[in-house]
Each structure stands twice: as structure tokens, then as C-alpha cells.
């Protein structure tokens, strides 16, 4: 649904804006694609003529979500996900900005491909899309890309996607070079040698299933190395996906030492654990793998403390042919654009996470880290806004998902809460019917 850009008054709302520590009743006025005001007592009087007045009836109004890690298959794999299908899924999930990954075909490692992504997304997507560019050429981990030129072309950060840069000298040079451009390095921390042929978290449950395990050390060893390289270089570093207690301890020490480090966690690792794999459910085969319940609880606590900055979807669509296989042979990955917020609301309802902390991690902090204009309801900011009914019960039917692929770990899951309206640039692009 794409409507005109008439002024909109979101009245009688519960406003959550972590950028201003707002958490309470109020109204939001939108005109000319930007937020004109967001406070208590705007009311219908004095708004521009022709304003569309929406009675939110106490529902939450918040900045649109910014997903820092999502795979979109353009160029080269649009059968898995196109900008058009990804953006429809994102809008339905309250995501107003997608940060797409560079592991496409060809790899996003030059200015021409960055330009293609931006133009293609502008022409076909209904949400904002920004690319991360590859950290090394071809994502081979051997030679760093032209970070300055790629940033000038529109890349918002630099990563080798699901590949780890194992050459420490290459990583050190990239961090040092990126520092001079104030560019953010986003790194997936998994040692491929320690992963070996592993397919799920190493431990008793893997042994019971007869599956080869992946130790948490595969993540922690690379993250520990990276923290030392950040100390040497002074660069800005973001851990793409932390999953275990050991990683949290490493991050805490780095923060205490004053290093410029931040981290994301996927919604899957926040709301699921290794036991959910059950009878070899391949839609829960992920990389990194789901960990223990103790790890999950520690990750959720780290959102509250601010040790983890960002919650992301880790959206990774896979074909039926690559998922309907024995667990050890199936491709890793799950879709998550439409389910990131509903799944995260489980943490609010069941684990006591504050909604304002959740919105901060899913909107405000990603905007700050990437230098994007969203993540706030301040007057003058782009009118990228969502309306959330936090209590409506519903059951996920994969057939209703707007993603091109349906490999969701939340098949037939019961949720409480979902997005009711998504507004981008002052236009309603999604409305729950």
C-alpha cells in the first residue's frame, strides 16, 4: 500500500523515542515528508488543512526500524530475494531501512556496483536501502577494497558478509585505513578451521543428535584477535553477530579499555536456543549456530545494559531445495525481516526487556553507528515511523510472508504484537488490514 503524502497526525499515541528519552503519551505530526512535532498535546486543532488524523488509541509510535544485516539477492540471486520483495517484507515488519550485504554476484566491491544497488533499490523498493561494501576485494580476505571511494559512492559500512578475514595483517591495514575516513568495519567472527564440518552448537545436545558441533571458541578467538587489532589501529569496529557469553566478556573488556567497538545480535539468537532445533529442523540451522539458553539470556541482558548495541534480522533467504535436506547438508540461514519485531516483543512480554531499550537497539543505535538520519522522532527528521500494536495476538502462517523465500524459524509461532502501520518519508507504505 503506497498512499499520497498528505500531512498525517498520529493522535493519542504512546510515543517511544530513545533519542530523546521519550516514553509516554503524545501526538506526532508529519508534513512534507518530515516530522514537524512529536509531543503531548498537539491535538487536531491547528494542524494543516487536509491532514489525515489517525487515532492510535494508545498504540506505540516509534522511529522506523533499521536492519543492519540483511541479505538481498540483487545482483545475481534475485530468485532468493529482490529489492522489491525484501522491501515489502521489511515494511510489513516495521523496518524502514535495510542495510544489505555485499555477498552478491558480483560482489559489491567497487563504486559501480554500489551505484547499481542504490539505483535499483530506488527504482523498485518501498523502503530505504543502503549497501555495505566488501571489506576485501571479492571478499577473498587478501586485499582490502578502496574504502574511501566506496564510502563516497554511498557505502555505509564495510564487511565481508558471512566471511571472516583471517589474515590479521589485512584486517589491521583495513582498520587503520578506514579510521582516516571514519568508516565502520563490520566483521563476522568465525574461525573456519575451528568450525570444520560442524553444523550446530558444540555440546550435549549436538551429541544426542549425532551432529558435529561448533565450539563458541570459533567466535571468541577471532573476536579477541580483532580487539587487539582495534587497539593497534584506533579504528571503528562492529562485531556483526555475537552469540555467546565468551564474546560478551571480550566486548566488555574492550569497552572498559576505551576501544571504539560495538556489536549486533540477531533476533534468532535472542529468542531461540539450540534446543529449538528439536528433530533436525533445518530452518533453525544458522551461522553462527544457535547457542545454549544461558547464552540467550546473557545476550538479552546485554541489550538492557547497552553492551550489545544492535538487534538485527540476519535475514538470509534460502531456496526450498537447499533447506529440505538432511540437517548436516542443508544451507544455513533464516529469513527475518517480517518477524524481527514480533519475535523481539517476546522479550518485552516474557523476559522483562523494556520496549524503549528494544527500539534503541533496532532503530536509534543503528542510525548513530551508520551515520543515517533516521532512528529518531525529533522535529525535522525524516518521517520514517511505525505504529505498533504490542498486544494483538496472531499466529504466523509462512504462506502470508512477503519474502520470496519462506525459510522462517517461526513457522506457526504464536506472537503478541505486530506493526499496524509503516510510514516512510511521510507516506504510508504498509497498513495492516
Q: What is the mean pLDDT of each run of 10 residues along the chain (433 residues)?
A: 77 97 96 95 83 95 98 95 98 98 97 98 98 98 97 98 97 97 98 98 97 98 98 98 98 98 98 96 97 98 98 96 95 98 97 96 98 97 98 96 96 97 97 92
Q: Residue 1: what pLDDT?
A: 47
Using a cut of 0.85, tell me whether the model's pTM lies above it.
yes
Residue 265 grid coordinates = 545480535
The number of folded domains in the chain is 1
Range of the domain at 101: 64-370
Q: Is residue 13 part of a domain?
A: no
H/E stretch holding 267: helix 267-271
Please say if 314 is a catalytic residue.
Answer: yes
- Residue 67 to residue 59: CA distance in whole angstroms: 22
Indicate which residue of 37, 103, 314, 389 is catalytic.
314
- Residue 4 to residue 247: CA distance in whole angstroms: 46
Q: Is residue 300 part of a domain?
A: yes
Q: Is residue 54 part of a domain?
A: no
Query: From its phi and psi, is residue 409 left (phi > 0), alpha (psi between -120 and 50) or beta?
Result: alpha
List of residues 6+ apart from 279 with CB closer than 8 A:
none
Q: Is residue 95 part of a domain?
A: yes
Q: How far from chain centre, in Å, is Cα 30? A: 26
List of residues 6+ apart from 48 with CB closer than 8 A:
7, 31
Q: Residue 24: what pLDDT?
A: 96
List of residues 6+ apart from 261 with CB closer than 8 A:
227, 230, 237, 238, 239, 251, 254, 255
Q: Residue 2: what pLDDT?
A: 54
Q: Is residue 365 part of a domain?
A: yes
**Domain at 100, CATH number:** 3.20.20.140
Q: Is residue 19 part of a domain?
A: no
Distances (CA, A) of 352 to 5, 349, 403: 37, 6, 30
Q: What angle do CA 286, 288, 289 make, to 5 degrees?
A: 55
Output phi, psi for 147, to 5 deg: -60, -45
Q: What angle do CA 321, 324, 329 make, to 5 degrees?
A: 90
Q: How far from chain centre, in Å, is Cα 9? A: 28
Q: Is residue 186 part of a domain?
A: yes
Q: Is residue 58 part of a domain?
A: no
Contact 288, 296 (CB under 8 A): no
Amino acid at each position: 500500500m503506497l498512499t499520497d503524502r498528505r500531512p498525517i497526525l498520529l493522535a493519542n499515541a504512546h510515543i517511544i523515542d530513545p533519542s530523546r528519552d521519550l516514553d509516554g503519551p503524545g501526538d506526532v505530526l508529519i508534513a512534507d515528508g518530515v516530522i514537524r512535532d512529536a509531543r503531548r498535546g498537539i491535538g487536531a486543532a491547528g494542524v494543516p488543512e487536509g491532514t489525515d488524523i489517525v487515532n492510535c488509541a494508545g498504540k506505540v509510535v516509534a522511529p522506523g526500524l533499521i536492519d543492519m544485516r540483511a541479505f538481498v539477492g540483487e545482483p545475481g540471486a534475485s530468485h532468493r530475494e529482490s529489492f522489491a520483495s525484501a522491501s515489502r517484507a521489511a515494511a510489513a515488519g516495521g523496518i524502514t531501512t535495510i542495510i544489505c550485504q555485499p555477498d552478491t554476484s558480483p560482489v559489491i566491491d567497487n563504486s559501480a556496483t554500489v551505484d547499481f544497488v542504490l539505483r535499483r533499490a530506488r527504482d523498485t523498493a518501498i523502503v530505504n536501502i543502503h549497501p555495505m561494501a566488501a571489506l576485501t576485494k571479492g571478499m577473498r580476505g587478501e586485499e582490502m577494497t578502496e574504502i574511501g571511494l566506496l564510502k563516497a559512492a554511498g557505502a555505509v559500512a564495510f564487511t565481508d558478509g558471512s566471511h571472516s578475514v583471517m589474515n590479521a595483517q589485512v584486517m589491521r591495514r583495513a582498520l587503520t585505513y578506514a579510521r582516516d575516513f571514519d568508516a565502520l568495519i563490520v566483521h563476522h567472527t568465525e574461525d573456519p578451521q575451528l568450525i570444520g564440518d560442524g553444523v550446530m552448537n558444540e555440546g550435549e545436545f549436538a551429541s544426542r543428535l549425532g551432529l558435529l558441533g561448533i565450539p563458541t571458541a570459533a567466535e571468541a578467538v577471532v573476536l579477541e584477535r580483532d580487539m587487539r587489532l582495534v587497539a593497534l589501529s584506533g579504528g571503528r569496529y562492529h562485531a556483526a553477530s555475537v552469540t555467546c557469553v565468551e564474546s560478551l566478556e571480550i566486548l566488555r573488556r574492550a569497552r572498559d579499555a576505551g576501544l571504539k567497538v560495538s556489536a549486533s545480535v540477531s533476533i534468532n539468537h535472542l529468542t531461540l536456543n539450540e534446543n529449538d532445533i528439536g528433530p533436525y529442523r533445518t530452518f533453525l540451522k544458522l551461522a553462527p549456530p544457535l547457542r545454549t539458553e544461558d547464552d540467550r539470556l546473557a545476550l538479552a541482558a546485554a541489550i538492557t545494559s547497552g553492551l550489545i548495541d544492535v538487534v538485527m534480522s540476519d535475514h538470509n533467504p534460502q531456496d526450498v531445495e537447499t533447506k529440505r535436506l538432511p540437517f548436516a547438508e542443508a544451507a544455513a540461514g533464516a529469513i527475518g525481516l517480517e518477524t524481527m519485531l514480533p519475535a523481539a516483543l517476546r522479550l518485552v512480554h516474557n523476559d522483562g526487556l523494556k520496549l524503549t531499550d528494544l527500539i534503541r537497539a533496532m532503530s536509534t543505535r543503528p542510525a548513530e553507528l551508520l551515520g543515517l538520519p533516521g532512528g529518531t522522532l525529533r522535529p525535522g527528521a525524516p518521517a520514517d515511523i511505525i505504529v505498533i500494536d504490542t498486544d494483538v495476538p496472531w499466529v504466523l502462517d509462512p504462506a502470508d510472508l512477503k519474502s520470496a523465500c519462506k525459510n522462517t524459524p517461526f513457522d506457526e509461532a504464536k506472537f503478541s504484537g505486530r506493526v499496524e502501520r509503516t510510514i516512510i518519508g511521510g507516506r504510508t507504505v504498509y497498513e495492516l488490514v
